[in-house]
Amino acid sequence: MTTEMLQVIRTDGTVHGKPEPPLPEELLRRFYRTMIQVRALDEKGMLLQRTGRIGFYVPSGGQEAAQVGAAAALEAQDWIFPTYRDPGMAIWKGASLTEMIAHEFGFATDRCKGRQMPNHYAFKELKYVSISSPIATQLPQAEGCAMAIKIKGTNEIVLGCMGDGGTSEGDFHVAMNFAGVFKSPIVFYCQNNQWAISVPLKGQTASESIAIKAKAYGFPGIQCDGNDVLAVYKAVKEAVDRARSGGGPSFVEALTYRMGPHSSSDDPKRYRPAAEEEEWRRKDPIDRFRKYLQKQGIWTEAFEKETWDKAREAVNEAVKEVEKAGPPAVHTMFEEVYKEMPAELAEQQRGLIEYLKTGEIKDSGEAFPL
């Protein structure tokens, strides 16, 4: 059995034999703006880490289309259980760029108050669930959410995200099997970026594709070109519509590439061929979609400049605003643990505050130490 890859836009921007999804021009422009916003955030994030202003960053360059196309296929009421390489999904959902950057710093305006790893965003009102750092642990959680939706009978679906490395974990198989048996309203979504840190795809699976694994669990699996935002949108939208109409789960594998390091702590040159990187850079999802928009008469040089200028300006302004806030006070570690702080914790907090006044130790508010 073979898996045919869905593709809409070729690398030169021309349309493949598959029909384009009928989308309005403004939505296509929004796709492009959001992809560039993700790239601009990445540029700044790595610069901030390399200059010592933040402690850690997880880039997602090369995967912008895979993030934006998938998120665009959802409705406002739908849930996302993301990975730490999905900032484009949060941005598409309406997350505050300032809050996202505050999270990178772990500063006072960070919702997590510096208690969560950077790039592990959470936005309750957007149903963008707190990211799990252990690989694939979010998938049984996503399936549990989907089962709750099925029991309650609400018109929601769940997008359960993973990378190719996540499909080697037991949690992946548990979630897939449960979803197949109970026909829950979930779309499993794998961004196959070819490398799980330093382990290549051939070290993850002997299957001819990752998408084909869905067959064993009794539901459809489809592979799409993850650097083609329209192919991703089409594949995920069909799976979302199927789940919402009661058709049960689907699995979508988006073939893409992590163009940078796994994180700011990683050096991909130690394990990845330079020729492979160069080959995938020629498939850059932003370049491809720009060529498509140009051929459609939508793209202009003025639109390009305006989009990049606004994206970088928004990131820079957010950084300035966040840095004014500074890190959270150390005594806040006692807060937001319980709905009502127990007396013994309140006493410890008061004791710490008084001790800090002596000057014997300093409330340093250090950046995340990675």
Cβ atoms of 285 and 66 within 8 Å: the answer is: yes
- In the residue annotation, 271 being an active-site residue is answered as yes
d(CA 248, CA 210): 19
| Cα 166–chain centre separation | 14
Residue 138: how many other CB atoms lie within 10 Å:
25
Nearest to 223 by CA among 268, 183, 257, 253: 253
- In the residue annotation, 257 being an active-site residue is answered as no
Number of H helices, E strands in the chain: 11, 8
- In the residue annotation, 173 being an active-site residue is answered as no
3-state secondary structure 295-330: HCCCCCHHHHHHHHHHHHHHHHHHHHHHHHHCCCCH
Query: Which residue is catalytic, options 85, 103, 242, 258?
Result: 258
Query: Which residue is catalytic, options 50, 271, 281, 350?
Result: 271
Beta bridge partners of 200: 195
Residue 65: how many other CB atoms lie within 10 Å:
30
Nearest to 53 by CA among 319, 261, 330: 319
The strands making up 158-163's β-sheet, listed across from edge to edge, are 5-6, 221-225, 250-255, 186-192, 158-163, 79-81
d(CA 332, CA 309): 37
Query: Which residue is catalytic, options 33, 103, 242, 262?
Result: 262
Nearest to 250 by CA among 211, 220, 218: 220
Angle at 346 between CA 342 and CA 347, to 5 degrees: 115
Cβ atoms of 210 and 147 within 8 Å: the answer is: no
Positions annotated as catalytic residues are 258, 262, 271
